[in-house]
Structure 1
Amino acid sequence: MPNSGIESRRQAAIEEGGTAYIARRQEILRTAAHIFREKGYEATLRDVAEALSTDRASIYYYFGSKEEVLQEIVREALAHDMAAARAIQRSNDSTPDKIRALIYSMVVGFAEFYPHMNVHVEDLGRIARQDSAWAVEIIEETRQYEALVRAILRQGQEEGALRGDISINVAAMSLFGMINWMYRWYRPTYPVAPEEIAASFAELFLAGIVPPASAA
């Protein structure tokens, strides 16, 4: 990173929270997410700067490194899902409706935050291998999210709303696997709307885990 006092100026701008500064940071994040999706993490801040028709030095006024950019991309994507899952868990909806809401929030969030979620899913393995406070934070939040989903499924089993002969962990992993695999095929140009994808996923999942009498 250029050593010209820019780090202190960047920190001051972040703390001040000016509308234009925050908007530019978000623009850089969106562009970087697309670049990382297209070129992988080997992409550089120079690539991001070129896509924004600016020079690399100007990026450092907003972010200290490529790693910091990636961290913010992943943090934003995960925060969205965590907030939605906590609200769904606290609701008084039935377990099937909570599952529908969870799937809806994940799928629509995946589309809304595209390609941020792609970066998160694809880079989670590399994050897990890091020995940093941020990596620990993200892995812990991911585990908390998974625990929230398992808790909703477990409550459904205890209430008899879900089949009791299916492992909670298997059910949860199958749910995550179905949605996380979207990073391989979903693009904003996909001919099926995210809301319809979510509804289809919910019906496919519930058809296997809700007892026949309850489904009827």
Structure 2
Amino acid sequence: MASSGIEARRQAAMEEGSAAYIARRKEIVRAAAHVFRDKGYEATLKDVAQALGTERASIYYYFGSKEELLQEIVREALARDMEAAHAIRKSKDTTPAKIRALIESMVISYAENYPHMNVYIEDLGRIARQDSEWAIDVIEETRQYEALVRSILRQGQEEGTLRDDIPINVASMALFGTVNWMYRWYRPTYPVPPEEIADGFARIFLSGFAVPGAEEAAGTAKGKQ
């Protein structure tokens, strides 16, 4: 591809940044995300091109490789979530309200950007095993996002609006585990709308799933066995 001058043309087009070029890149990213979701990361640029009704060679004018496409998918997903989380952290809302807003932001983002988030979550382990500069940056940004969420939870414990008998790390992993598991079951055709999913997650996380006294009763029953 370099001998044909396509790499130089791509670089020049990126630097120029015309609206049409950027729009086409975004269209390719959306198509690639769907292809990777349906066929896994083993899918090829030819598969992406077929989904767009074009030739594989034309993709190289916008992206140099399949890996570069995945990087853009992940980059977009992280940028959106980080921006939303920072805004929530700086808001004047109470901590429980911030947590509800955070969960809603994560769920709505997941639904609106499906299947981009599927690709990111499913490939996070593979990304973590890489030692490229990009992979290191992604993992670092992911950790920053997790730290931001923990800071919100910690604020709630310090002000007395959240239980202080549950370690922050455990609580944050419960939150992330709940939302991130959506990649296994959520599809745009899911019968429950994203807003109701977010509300359910928030109710479970903030109020607890067991009725008052159920945990003590369960412990007593276990002791009698």
TM-score (norm 2): 0.91
**How far off is 1:16 after superposition?**
1.1
Once the two structures are superposed, residues 132-157 of structure 1 have per-residue CA deviations (whole angstroms, 9 ceiling, x without a partner) of 00000000000000000000000100
Q: Is residue 44–residue 66 contact of structure 1 (8 Å, CA) maintained in 2? A: yes
* CA distance in 1: counterparts of 2:195 and 2:15, whole angstroms: 37
Corresponding residue for 2:18? 18
**How far off is 1:79 after superposition?**
0.7
Once the two structures are superposed, residues 138-193 of structure 1 have per-residue CA deviations (whole angstroms, 9 ceiling, x without a partner) of 00000000000000000100000100001100000000000000000000111111
What secondary structure sits across from 2:208 in the alignment? helix
| AA aligned opposite 1:110 | Y
| AA aligned opposite 1:53 | G
Aligned residues: 210
What do you get for the CA RMSD once the two structures are aligned?
1.2
Task: Give the 4+ runs in structure 1 shifted more than 4 A.
Answer: none
Corresponding residue for 1:144? 144
Corresponding residue for 2:5? 5
Unaligned runs of 5+ in 2: 213-225
* CA distance in 2: counterparts of 1:78 and 1:15, whole angstroms: 23
1:204 aligns with 2:181: no
Corresponding residue for 1:89? 89
* CA distance in 2: counterparts of 1:208 and 1:165, whole angstroms: 13
| AA aligned opposite 2:188 | P
Once the two structures are superposed, residues 40-78 of structure 1 have per-residue CA deviations (whole angstroms, 9 ceiling, x without a partner) of 100000000011111100000000000000000000001
**How far off is 1:3 after superposition?**
3.0
Q: Is residue 46–residue 55 contact of structure 1 (8 Å, CA) maintained in 2? A: yes
Corresponding residue for 2:38? 38
**How far off is 1:208 after superposition?**
2.4
| AA aligned opposite 2:192 | V
What is the aligned-residue identity percentage?
A: 76
Q: Is residue 111–residue 188 contact of structure 1 (8 Å, CA) maintained in 2? A: yes
* CA distance in 2: counterparts of 1:94 and 1:155, whole angstroms: 10
